[in-house]
Chains A and B, each alone.
Chain A
C-alpha cells in the first residue's frame, strides 16, 4: 500500500502531446477510477504509472519514491490488462506464480502464495488448466490472481471488464470492489464506462483530451459537475442540456432558444439575460399540472422505470419516472424539472455558473452554522 502522486505529468508521442500536465493525488488504499471517452489519455497515463511508457515531463511518485526512471519491475506495482495478457503456455498456477519464479522463490514458497490467492478468487479447481481452457470471466480472475500474488504497493487495472458480457461485468465489478475492501491496496482503475466509475470508485478522475476535467467522489461529480463535459459524461441516462438565456426580467426562470420557459430555484445574482446552458437530469424531471407542455416521442419501459423521450417546443428532452405511467407516442404531457436540481453552465466556456442551485447556499448556511 502506498500513496501515489502524479505531478504535472506530460506525455508526447513524437511532437503530439497527449497528456497535458496532469496532477492527481491518490491516498493510501484509495480506489481511484480514471474515466473518459476513448483517446482522452487515461490508458496512457496508467501505462506511464506502470512504467510501460516514459513520461515527457513531470513526476510520478509511488510511496516516497520518485519512479520516473525506474523500470516496471522496480515500481512494485501489478497490472491487469484489458485482454488479460495471460501467458498462453503456462497453467493458471504457473501464470500466477510467474513473478515469484522470476525472483527465484522456491516451489514451496510459490505454492504457499498462489493457493490463498486462488482460493480468494475461486480458482482452486482451475490451477492446472491453461488459459485457452478458461472462460472470459475465469481468465479475468487469473489476471487478478497474478496481481494479488505479487502483493504490490499499487494495483493498476486497464479496462479489465470491457471484454466481458454485461452480466459478468456487473458480477466482476462487485468482486473487484470486494477484493479491494479486503486487501485495501491502492488501486488505479481505467475505464470508459461511467457506471463502472460511479459504482467502484472512492474518487473519480474525469479526463478529456489529455487534461483532467474534474476530480471528486462519485456523488460529488453527479451532484456538482464543474463543467458541461462532466455533466453529460457522468450519469446514465445523460443529463439534458438546453441552450438559452436566464430570464431578462429577473424572475427565476430560464428561456430556451426555442422559447420554452423552464424553472430555476433562483437566478444567480446579476445574471439576468445571460446566455447559458440549462442542465437537468432525466431523473429530476417530474409531472405537474403547471409543468412545461411537451409531446411524447418514444416510451421505453425497463420494468423498474420508464424512460420517456419527449419534445419541448421541438427540443428533445429525456425524462425517467419510477412510477408507472401509461404514455403513448404523441401524448401531450406536462414536464416539471425540479428547480433544486438544475445546473447552469456558461454557454461560452461550459463552466458551471455558481449560485444557481439552492444546495450551495444551503451548504454555505451549514458552514455558517458550524463556524458560529
Chain B
C-alpha cells in the first residue's frame, strides 16, 4: 500500500536534489503523540519479555528441563489438550450455531442461559466444578452413592480422567464464545441462498455442505487458529481443576511454570515458558497473515 507513496517521494527527492529532512514540520507533534504508547510498550511488554529471556539464557536450564520427565509428559498433555479439546469444541460450536439460528423464542432464552459459563468468572466456576467432583463429599459422587450404593470414581486422582475433565471444563467454558462467533458468521449468509437451494432441491445436509460450509470455512479455520493460541495460554481450566496433579501428571505448558516456581527454580520456569514459543509463534504468524489478507 505504501510503496507507490514511497516511490513518489523518491521521485520528488531525485527531482529536487534535496535530502529528506530528519523531521518534517508537523511530524514532531505526531512523534510526541506516540511517546505514551512506546513507554507503556517498553515497560509492560519489552522489558518483561527481555528480562524473561535473560533469566532463561543458560543452556543448562534447558538440559535440566528436558531431563525432567514431567516436562515431556507436559508436552504430550499439551498436544493432547490442543488436538482434542479444540477440535471437539469447534465442531460442537459449529453444530450448536446451526441450532441457535433457528428462529424460536425459546431458543433465544436457551441461548441466554447457554452463554453463562463463558460470561461468569473462571475461578468460582471452575472451583465449584472441582468441589462437585470431590470423591468424598462432592455432589457427583454423593449422587452416585445414593443411586447405586457404590463409591464413584476418584475423578481427579486418575491422571487421564483428570486431564479429560480439564478438557471438558475448557470446552464447557469456551464453547459459548465460539458458538456466538460462528452463529454471527452464519447469520451473514444471505437467506436467499438457502431459498434458492431449497427450490433447487437441496436436503438439509446438502444445504450445509454446499452453502453453509463454503461460506463459514474461512471463519472456522481462523477461529480454530485463534482458539489454539488462547488454549495454549489457558491456565485456569487445568490449574484450578487439577492443580497439575495428581503427581504433576496433568500439567500443560501454561501451568508447568508454576511447578518450577514452587520449587524455587525461576530459570526453569522461564525456560518452560520459552519452550512454549515454538508452538505459539507460528500460530501467531499464521493468524496475523490470515487477518491481514
Contacts and interface: CB of A to CB of B under 8 A. Distances in A.
Interface of A: 50-52, 71-73, 77-79, 81-83, 85, 87-90, 98-99, 102-103, 146, 150
Nearest to B217: A89
22 contacts: A52-B195, A52-B198, A71-B198, A73-B199, A73-B200, A73-B202, A77-B199, A82-B192, A83-B190, A85-B190, A87-B211, A88-B193, A88-B215, A89-B210, A89-B214, A89-B215, A98-B197, A98-B210, A102-B200, A102-B201, A102-B202, A146-B200
A85 B193 contact: yes
A88 B214 CA distance: 9
A197 B198 CA distance: 28
A4 to B, nearest CB: 16
Nearest to B195: A52
B192 A83 contact: yes
B201 A103 contact: yes
A85 B195 contact: yes
Nearest to A156: B199
Nearest to A150: B200
B185 to A, nearest CB: 14
A87 B198 contact: no
B206 interface: yes
A50 B199 contact: yes
A73 B201 contact: yes
A78 B199 contact: yes
A291 to B, nearest CB: 53
A78 B197 CA distance: 11
Contacts of A83: 190, 192
A87 B199 contact: no
Interface string B198-227: 111110001000110011000000000000
B196 interface: yes
Interface of B: 190, 192-193, 195-202, 206, 210-211, 214-215
Contact of B199 (A79, A82, A89, A103): A79
Nearest to B201: A73
Contacts, number: 59
Given A98-B210, A102-B206, A87 B201 contact: no
A87 B207 CA distance: 11
Contacts of B193: 85, 87-88
A85 B192 contact: yes
Nearest to B203: A102
A207 B193 CA distance: 27
Contacts of A52: 195, 198-199
A81 B195 CA distance: 9
B194 to A, nearest CB: 9
B201 A99 contact: yes
B273 to A, nearest CB: 42
Given A52-B195, A71-B198, A77-B199, 7 more contacts: A50-B199, A51-B199, A52-B198, A73-B201, A78-B199, A81-B196, A89-B214
Contacts of A78: 199
B80 to A, nearest CB: 34
Contacts of A71: 198
A50 B210 CA distance: 21
Contacts of A103: 201
A103 B203 CA distance: 11
B105 to A, nearest CB: 12
A99 B192 CA distance: 15
B190 A72 contact: no
A78 B190 CA distance: 18
Nearest to A94: B210
Nearest to A90: B210
B199 A98 contact: no
Contacts of A77: 199
A90 B210 CA distance: 9
A89 B202 CA distance: 16
Contacts of A81: 192, 195-196
Contacts of B214: 87-89
A206 to B, nearest CB: 26
Nearest to A103: B201
Contacts of A73: 198-202
Contacts of B190: 83, 85
A51 B214 CA distance: 26
A87 B198 CA distance: 13
A83 B189 CA distance: 13
A79 B196 contact: yes
A71 B199 CA distance: 8
Nearest to B198: A72
A88 B213 CA distance: 12
Most buried by A among B193, B200, B215: B200
Most buried by A among B190, B192, B211, B214: B192
Closest 3 CB pairs of A and B: A85-B192, A73-B201, A89-B214
A88 B190 CA distance: 11
A103 B197 CA distance: 12
A51 B215 CA distance: 25
Nearest to A71: B198
A51 B200 CA distance: 12
Most buried by B among A71, A81, A82: A81
A81 B190 CA distance: 12
A72 B194 CA distance: 11
B97 to A, nearest CB: 19
Nearest to B214: A89
Contacts of A102: 200-202, 206
Contacts of B199: 50-52, 72-73, 77-79, 99
A87 B215 CA distance: 10
B192 A87 contact: no
A150 B193 CA distance: 17
Contacts of A146: 196, 200
A98 B200 contact: yes
Contacts of B192: 81-83, 85
Contacts of B201: 73, 99, 102-103
Contacts of B200: 73, 98-99, 102, 146, 150
